[in-house]
């Protein structure tokens, strides 16, 4: 069974490694939409994979670090592409939520990344 919880945050960034003249090299912002998926067996006792409250307790502090921040100033996000932000989130969530199976991070309604850990 796979459950999910969604979060949003607003943040600014620029992409320092894209060519000169690329519009993403300039500071700009997004309203990010994050969906965190956790897979596992449904507990016979509680009847769930994980308590949504427990998932939120792990993810919200990470989201709060990103919300209304300049992503380039956050340790480990000097090149804050959607891919790198998803990996950063994964690294913060996965040790606390072993059943983490997928992160979906949207920068815009039509653009985003899905990260499932493992090989980059």
Does residue 20 carry a catalytic annotation? no
Q: How many domains does the chain have?
A: 1
Q: Report yes or no: 42 and 48 within 8 Å, Cβ to Cβ.
A: yes
Which residues on neighbouring strands pair with residue 37, listed in sequence order?
Answer: 4, 102
Residue 82 lies in a domain: yes
Residue 9 lies in a domain: yes
Give me the phi and psi of 86, to 5 degrees please: -60, -45
Residue 46 lies in a domain: yes
Catalytic residue (choose from 22, 68, 73, 96): 68
Give me the phi and psi of 49, to 5 degrees please: -75, -45
b/e burial code for range 34-52 (CB count within 10 A of at least 16 → b):
bebbbebeeeeeeeebbee
Does residue 107 carry a catalytic annotation? yes
pTM here?
A: 0.95
**pLDDT in the model for residue 118:** 78
**pLDDT in the model for residue 47:** 97
- Binding site, by residue number, is 13, 28, 30
**For each of the chain's 120 residues, which pLDDT tens digit applies?**
999 999 999 999 999 999 999 999 999 999 999 999 999 999 999 999 999 999 999 999 999 999 999 999 999 999 999 999 999 999 999 999 989 999 999 999 999 999 999 776
Residue 19 half-sphere exposure toward CB, CA atoms < 13 A: 2
Element (H, E) at 93: helix 82-93
Q: Report yes or no: 84 and 96 within 8 Å, Cβ to Cβ.
A: no
The parent domain of residue 102 ranges over: 2-115
Residue 120 lies in a domain: no
Residue 79 lies in a domain: yes
Does residue 33 carry a catalytic annotation? no
The domain that holds 52 is classified in CATH as 3.30.479.10
**pLDDT in the model for residue 43:** 96
**pLDDT in the model for residue 120:** 62
Residue 98 lies in a domain: yes
């Amino acid at each position: 069974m796979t459950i999910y919880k969604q979060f949003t945050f607003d943040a600014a960034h620029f992409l320092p490694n894209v060519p000169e003249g690329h519009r993403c090299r300039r500071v700009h912002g997004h309203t990010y939409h994050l969906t965190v998926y956790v897979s596992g067996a449904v507990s016979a006792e509680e009847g769930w994979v994980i308590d949504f409250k427990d998932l939120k307790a792990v993810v919200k502090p990470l989201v709060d670090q990103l919300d209304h921040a300049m992503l380039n100033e956050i340790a480990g996000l000097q090149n804050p592409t959607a891919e790198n932000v998803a990996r950063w989130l994964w690294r913060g969530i996965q040790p606390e939520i072993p059943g983490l199976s997928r992160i979906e991070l949207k920068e815009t309604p039509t653009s985003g990344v899905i990260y499932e850990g493992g090989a980059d």
